[in-house]
């Protein structure tokens, strides 16, 4: 995408004390994934050669989360949080041998757009600072520009009135060639009130070394950083509003947009219909023409074209639903494959199951997939009919076109075309119910 190869450094070492949480700030969830996942997902669209996440507070937790979000990313440890420049220095050893453009991002700044990162990556200057025109510049550092690019970054406390009137402010995000970072970062000192090494000193030192320093700008909402629970809630509202608007623009019908909740990676095809109060967790794909009815929860699943889900259904990780599958009221499906045309009407749990095409699963069916130690699979052939209230004790197989009687407990494989009955014979005792109730009432003194 750019002439120079690209590497990403994502700063994620801070504690985030204002969140009032034991959880590292970058692991708080936005759009159903940790905050740091947003920076990683957007940055990956530039096809970087290397991604380094700098962890500090809660490093083990951050490392585990990053391994799930981006298995190819590497993690550098900042044992002492001594400022942003110090954090970038910790990442440089993991970029040994890399010669190209390095983008420095923040794990708590989730909304910077791919196009903005592309401008940073492709800009011809030696150092590029991301700025924005602030509606209320407040205490942001001001970006003072001139005919030769960015002249200096002035912190609010050091600015005179004329400088404070500048509305172009610093986002903290920047890009520079790897060679420039290796040369300039060690020159940054910590002669400031906090005794920390600040990345904002890099542009000035680069300019003093005769390098070209410039600014690219983005819209202010892209630079929103998360520091408090209130800001996280506001960011969630902004994320959901954008996701809903994008879904509508992409040709998805949302019956009540304000009640539909998306994850960062939710993928829905055109002409799909999404009912009220539907929640998408991570890893969901819904193909064109499928319908998700009200009050459903989906995560880690794939729904094919023409399928209908719900209302009040739950699809969990590993649920693969073929074309024209119907999953109805109060059905839960986990780690199961349902082939084309399967019907699971209501009140059923299918876990660790493979169900052949056009099979009907009766109400109250349960795949008993867990023996207390291990999970086991149930396999049901095509065009089978599973009677209501069937307990399928895995591992077990039901053949094609086979049937199970309602109320059966199936513990052995059922051949193709067979009928399996696994229930005790009914015994009827005439008049016994009335006599039993009378005895019970007398015992209770009624």
- Smallest CA-to-CA distance from 172 within 256, 46, 83 is with 83
Residue 254 phi, psi (nearest 5) = -115, 110
List, in sequence order, every beta strand (DSSP E) within 287-357: 291-292, 297-298, 302-303, 308-309, 314-315, 320-321, 326-334, 337-338, 343-351, 353-355
> Is 346 an annotated catalytic residue?
yes
The HSE-up count of residue 139 (CA atoms within 13 Å, CB side) is 1
For 317-335, b/e burial (b = at least 16 CB within 10 A) is ebbbbbbbbbbbeebbbbb
Distance CA 347, CA 309 (A): 13
At which residue do the structure tokens 């699971």 appear?
344
Active-site residue, selected from the candidate residues 57, 302, 346, 383: 346
User: How do beta strands 29-30 and 33-34 pair?
Assistant: antiparallel
Distance CA 263, CA 48 (A): 24
Distance CA 132, CA 332 (A): 47
Distance CA 376, CA 386 (A): 19
Which residues are known catalytic residues?
Answer: 346
């Amino acid at each position: 995408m750019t002439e120079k190869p690209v590497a990403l450094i994502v700063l994620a070492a801070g504690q985030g004390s204002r969140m009032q949480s034991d959880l590292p700030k970058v692991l708080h969830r936005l759009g159903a994934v940790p905050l740091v996942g947003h920076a990683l997902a957007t940055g990956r669209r530039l096809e970087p050669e290397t991604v380094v996440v700098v962890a500090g507070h809660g490093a083990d937790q951050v490392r585990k989360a990053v391994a799930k979000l981006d298995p190819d990313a590497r993690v550098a440890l900042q044992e002492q949080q001594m400022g942003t420049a110090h954090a970038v220095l910790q990442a440089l050893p993991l970029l040994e041998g890399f010669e190209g453009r390095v983008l420095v991002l923040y794990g708590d700044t989730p909304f910077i757009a791919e196009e903005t990162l592309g401008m940073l990556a492709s800009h011809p200057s030696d150092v590029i600072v991301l700025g924005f025109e602030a509606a209320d510049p407040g205490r942001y550092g001001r970006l003072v520009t001139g005919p030769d690019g960015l002249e200096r970054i002035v912190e609010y406390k050091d600015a005179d009135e004329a400088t404070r009137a500048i509305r172009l402010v610093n986002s903290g995000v920047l890009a520079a060639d790897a060679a420039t970072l290796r040369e300039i970062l060690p020159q940054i000192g910590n002669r400031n009130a906090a005794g920390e090494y600040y990345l904002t000193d890099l542009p000035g030192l680069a300019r003093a070394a005769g390098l070209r320093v410039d600014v690219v700008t983005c819209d202010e909402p892209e630079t929103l950083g998360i520091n408090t629970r209130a800001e996280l809630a506001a960011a969630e509202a902004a994320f959901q509003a954008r996701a809903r608007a994008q879904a509508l623009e992409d040709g998805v019908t949302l019956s009540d947009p304000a009640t539909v909740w998306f994850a960062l990676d939710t993928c829905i095809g055109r002409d799909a219909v999404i009912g009220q109060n539907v929640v998408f967790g991570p890893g969901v794909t819904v193909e064109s023409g499928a319908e998700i009815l009200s009050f459903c929860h989906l995560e880690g699943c794939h729904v094919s074209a023409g399928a209908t889900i719900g209302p009040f259904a739950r699809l969990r990780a590993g649920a693969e639903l073929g074309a024209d599958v119907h999953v109805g009221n109060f059905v839960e499906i986990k780690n199961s494959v349902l082939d084309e045309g399967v019907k699971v009407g209501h009140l059923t749990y299918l876990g660790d199951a493979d169900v052949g095409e056009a099979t009907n699963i009766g109400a109250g069916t349960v795949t008993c997939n867990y023996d207390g130690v291990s999970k086991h699979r149930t396999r049901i052939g095509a065009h089978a009919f599973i009677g209501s209230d069937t307990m399928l004790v895995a591992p077990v197989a039901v053949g094609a076109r086979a049937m199970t009687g309602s109320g059966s407990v199936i513990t052995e494989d059922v051949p193709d075309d067979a009928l399996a009955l696994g229930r005790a014979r009914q015994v009827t005792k005439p008049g016994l119910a009335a006599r039993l109730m009378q005895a019970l009432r007398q015992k209770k003194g009624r």
